Structure formats: structure tokens, C-alpha cells
């Protein structure tokens, strides 16, 4: 009878131990799998959050530009309502600047365009006047003159970084890339807090790349990506850097 009980007891113990060991192993693997899934999910979620933050930053940049244009339009309405005379012609000025032979590169005959610029020594008005000739009159030559006067006249102005940026844009659009690069570079070097700095860095990189200085362009793109990871300019810099590395 005892032998029968022993025979029955031994296999029962063996069978009981095997599943427990197997169960522990499977449980550990299951937990590891679950942790890996959770980790992967969090990584994906973090990537999505970073993308959302980048998109929000782009929206903020767009809003800043829109606000600036809206402020300009409001100023124009106020001036009309107060019956100010002149079409942003800078009448009753304290100073008159006459330097102004700016070669019109669009003129095939190479003729020069002489423009007389007057100023009332009014910081906001002078800056708005430059924007007026950019966005309303579409007169880039006159806008350049106004901006050159502005950066000379107002060395401490909060609008000075923007003036450098617009000078870079205007010269770039005229195909004068060396001058454009100069004004963009001044903004990049002197005005680290300017919201237009990443865009200026991007343009410097583009000009370097277009001039065949690919290594310098790649350095600028990489620097932009590192310094402004949430900027809209960063996305474009990544595309440019990827293309430059292929060539």
C-alpha cells in the first residue's frame, strides 16, 4: 500500500514542479515583452509630441509675421484718419539724405536710378515706410534705400534686426547674393534673440550652397538644426543638408 502511495506521489510532485518553472519563465518573458511594448509606445508618443511642438512653433512664427503686417496696416489706417499729408513721403523732415544712386540691375541698359530719401527722424515711421515700399509699392530699390537709412539712423532700434533681414531678402531677390549674405550674416552674428535669426541662417547656408561652398553650407545647416530644433527653418535645413550630403 505504501509503495502504491509512493508511486503515485513521485510523479505528482514532478508534474507540479515543471509547470511552475515553465510558468515563471513565460511570465518573465511576457513581462519583458509588455515593457518593450510600453517603451516603444512611449517613444512613438514622444516623437508625435515633438512633431506637434514643431508644428505649433511654425504656427507661432506665422502669427508673428501676420501680427507685424497687421500692425503696419493699423498704422496706415490711423495716419489716414488723422489726415496726415503725403503718401509716406517723409515731408517736414529734419534731415535729408541724398546718396542715392542705386544701380537698377533689372535695367538692361545699366542705367542708374537716383532717389532722394527724406526722413523725419521717426523710428517707427521710417521702418513702416520701408515695409510700405516692399509690400504696397513693390519698389525694392526704394525699400533698400529706406532700410539702409534706417540701420544708419537707429543703431539701437528693436526693428534693426528685421531691417537687416529685409535687406538680405531684397538683395537676394535681385540676385545680389554677396550683399544678401552680408546682411543675413550681420543678423546672425549680432542678434541672437531675434526670431528671424534661424531664417537668416538658412539663407546664408543656401547662398553658400548655391555658390558651390557645400562644406560651409552643411556646417551652417547643422548648426541651425542644433540651435533651433523646433523652428520651421530647421525642417528646411534638414532637407538641404540631406541633399548636400548626397552630392
Mean pLDDT for each 10-residue chunk of the chain (247 residues)? 45 48 60 68 63 61 59 61 48 38 42 42 89 95 96 95 97 96 97 96 96 95 96 95 87
Query: What is the pTM for the complete model shown?
Result: 0.56
The candidate with the shortest Cα–Cα distance to 221, out of 212, 235, 210, 230, is 235
Element spanning 49, H or E? helix 2-81
Q: Calculate the alpha carbon distances from 74 to 68, 79, 162, 186, 211 in Å.
A: 10, 9, 19, 30, 41
pLDDT tens-digit series, residues 30-69: 777 767 667 666 656 666 666 666 566 655 555 565 566 5
Cβ(176)–Cβ(203) below 8 Å: no
Amino acid at each position: 500500500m505504501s509503495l502504491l502511495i509512493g508511486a503515485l506521489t513521485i510523479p505528482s510532485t514532478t508534474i507540479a514542479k515543471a509547470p511552475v518553472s515553465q510558468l515563471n519563465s513565460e511570465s518573465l518573458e511576457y513581462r519583458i515583452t509588455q515593457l518593450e511594448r510600453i517603451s516603444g509606445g512611449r517613444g512613438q508618443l514622444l516623437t508625435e509630441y515633438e512633431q506637434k511642438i514643431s508644428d505649433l512653433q511654425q504656427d507661432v512664427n506665422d502669427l508673428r509675421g501676420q501680427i507685424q503686417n497687421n500692425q503696419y496696416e493699423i498704422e496706415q489706417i490711423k495716419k489716414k484718419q488723422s489726415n496726415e499729408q503725403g503718401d509716406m513721403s517723409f515731408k517736414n523732415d529734419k534731415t535729408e539724405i541724398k546718396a542715392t544712386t542705386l544701380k537698377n540691375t533689372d535695367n538692361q541698359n545699366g542705367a542708374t536710378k537716383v532717389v532722394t530719401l527724406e526722413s523725419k527722424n521717426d523710428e517707427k515711421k521710417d521702418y513702416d515706410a520701408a515695409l510700405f515700399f516692399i509690400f504696397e509699392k513693390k519698389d525694392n530699390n526704394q525699400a533698400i534705400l529706406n532700410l539702409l537709412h534706417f540701420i544708419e539712423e537707429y543703431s539701437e532700434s528693436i526693428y534693426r534686426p528685421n531691417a537687416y533681414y529685409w535687406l538680405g531678402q531684397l538683395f537676394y531677390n535681385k540676385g545680389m547674393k554677396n550683399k544678401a549674405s552680408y546682411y543675413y550674416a550681420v543678423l546672425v552674428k549680432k542678434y541672437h534673440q531675434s526670431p528671424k535669426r534661424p531664417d537668416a541662417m538658412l539663407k546664408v547656408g543656401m547662398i553658400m550652397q548655391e555658390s558651390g561652398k557645400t562644406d560651409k553650407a552643411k556646417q551652417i545647416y547643422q548648426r541651425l538644426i542644433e540651435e533651433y530644433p523646433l523652428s520651421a527653418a530647421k525642417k528646411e535645413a534638414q532637407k538641404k543638408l540631406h541633399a548636400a550630403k548626397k552630392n
